[in-house]
Amino acid sequence: MAPALSALGGIAVIIAALPTAGAHAGWWLLAGIAIAACVAPLGRRSTVDTGRAAKPLAYLEILGLAAAGGAVAGTVGLYLVIPWWALASAAVIVVGLFAALASPDRLTVPLAAAVLIGLTVFVLTCVTITPEQPVVVSGGGSAAGALVAALACYPAFAVGRVLAAVVVGVTGAAVAAAALHQMGAARFGLSRAPLRDAVVAADAGALHGFLAVVVVLAAALTVTVLLKAVRATSAVVAPGDTPTMFAAVAMLMVCLAVPARTSVLVAGGLLVVHHLGVIAVRPR
C-alpha cells in the first residue's frame, strides 16, 4: 500500500476522532495523539510476529478497522449539510470498497496529495487569522481525558509503517491544534464537526465548500485504505477474502447508524484488545 494512502487514512481517522477527543481532553488531545502514535506500532509488529497463531484475534482487527472506516464515512454527513447525507456516507463506503478491490493506486495517490494540500490550507487559515475571544462555557477537557483521546485516535495508527505513523501524528496534531487555536478548547469540545466550525469561527465562509470536498475525498480514500488492510488480514484468517470483506462492509454500515463519537471508541477498543492479544500469544 502506498505510504501516502496509509498516512491519509490515519489523518482522516483523527479528524473523525476529534469531537470525542476534544470533548474529553481539550488541548490534552495532543498528548492523546502522541500516546496512540507511540503505542500502536508495537501492536502492529506483534501481529506480524504471531502469524497464524493470531487467527482468532484477526477478526477483532477486521471489525476494528471496519468500525474506524464507518466512523470516517459518518463524518461526511457532518460536513455535507444536505438532507440525504446518509446516502452520501453510504456512497463513500461503496466507492471505498470498489477502490479497495480494484486497487487503483495511480488515481488515489494524487487525490491523497490534494487532500493533504487542502488540510494545509485549513491549518494556515486557522493560524493566520486572529481568533476572536472564545465564549467562556464549562468544559474544555482534562489531562485524564488524554487517555480517552488516545483510545479514539488509536485506529489512526493501525495501518502503515513507522514513517506513515509519524506523518499521521504530526499532521493530525497540526490540524487539531489549528482548530483549537481558532475555537478555544471549550467550543472545540462542544463541536460535532470541529474543522467546519473552526472555519466558521475564522469567518472564512468561502472555504466551506472546499472543506466539504476535502473531507469527502479523505473519507473515501480512508475507507479504501482500511478495507485494503482488511484484505491483508484476511490472508491470515482463511483462504479467500470474500467472507471477511462482507463482514467488514456490514460493520461499516452498522457504524453509520451510530454517532461517529461512538464508532471511534469501538474501533479503538477492538484494536487495542486485538493488539494486546497478539502480544500475549506471539512466539517467545
**DSSP symbols for 30-97:** HHHHHHHHHHHHHHHHHHHHHGGGGHHHHHHHHHHHHHHHHHHHHHHHHHS-STTHHHHHHHHHHHHH
First-to-last alpha carbon distance for the chain, in angstroms, is 29
For helices 105-128 and 208-237, give the axis angle rounded to 10 degrees: 130
Average pLDDT over every residue of 159-166: 78
Give pLDDT, residue 33.
Answer: 94
Task: List pLDDT tens digits, range 90-105.
Answer: 888 888 777 777 765 6
Give pLDDT, residue 204.
Answer: 78
- From the centroid of its chain, how far is CA 74? 11
pLDDT at 148 over 50: yes
> What's the chain's average pLDDT?
80
pTM confidence score: 0.85
Residue that wins the pLDDT comparison between 269 and 132: 269
Residue from 261, 233, 259 nearest 44 by CA: 233
Return d(Cα 222, Cα 5) in angstroms, integer: 8
Average pLDDT over every residue of 19-31: 91
Contact by Cβ (8 Å): 143, 87:
no
Give pLDDT, residue 133.
Answer: 59
Give pLDDT, residue 137.
Answer: 47
Return d(Cα 206, Cα 199) in angstroms, integer: 9
Average pLDDT over every residue of 113-117: 86
Give pLDDT, residue 242.
Answer: 61
